[in-house]
Amino acid sequence: MDDHTDQTRKPRADAVRNRERVLEAAKAVFSAGGPEASLEAVAKRAGVGIGTLYRHFPTREDLFEAVYRREVEQLSELAEQLKSAKDPVDALRRWLRSGVEFVATKKGMVAALALAVQSGSELHAFSFDRLTRATGSLLERAVAAGEMRADISPEDFLRAFFGICYIHDQPGWQSTALRLLDVFVDGLRVQAASKTKARAARPAKSAAKRRR
């Protein structure tokens, strides 16, 4: 019985490994984008035959959606792991850096995902809910630690994040996005907000002294 069990389990284990290899390869290929982002390129990078790829993902859209869901789930898991990080602001930055990789993958298959991720679709609801909760958990820690302003919602934070990532599609956009995201996060720091209020209050105080 044990031998029979082993024989029946091995194909399933191989299938799981092959599926993961295809998804990991697809992430790399789609992130690069361009004419080279073909299913054949994915199969070659994963080290499997094109037939194996199609057995797991019968259509191009099936593969794109699986990659997208996997990326969202990994970002959610990363947020959970980072909740125990010592520095909550650094944890938020680390999550954002991984988020840029997610956007890079998404950009490589944006046309195919356009219909699947349209507002109101199940996939859109799935991703928005997961990413909002992930962002919210990290923001809450930073706010509770007195490091970040409390007047920005997870939804607004995500909108700003995606807005920065989609500023342009030229080569090197990731480095620009990372730099701007650092500026964005620094602008939400409590220290930065306090300095801004202090600078705004100075002219008013000076005017009051002159009137005296």
pLDDT digits (tens, 9 = 90+) for 133-155: 999 999 999 999 999 999 999 99
Average pLDDT (70-81) is 94
pTM of the model: 0.74
Residue 8 has a pLDDT of 46
Q: How confident is the model at residue 6 (pLDDT cuts 50, 70, 90)?
A: very low
Q: How confident is the model at residue 167 (pLDDT cuts 50, 70, 90)?
A: confident
> Which residues lie below 8 Å from residue 125, measured CB to CB, with a gap of 6+?
none
Least confident among 62-66, 152-156, 205-209: 205-209
Residue 179 has a pLDDT of 95
Rounded to whole angstroms, what are the CA distances from 61 to 54, 65, 93, 115, 170?
11, 6, 31, 10, 25
| DSSP H or E segment with residue 111 | helix 110-116
83-111 residue pLDDT tens: 999 999 999 999 999 999 888 888 777 65
Better-predicted residue by pLDDT, 89 or 200: 89
- Cα distance between residue 138 and residue 143, in whole Å: 9
Q: Is the pLDDT of residue 9 over 70?
A: no
- Cα distance between residue 192 and residue 148, in whole Å: 9
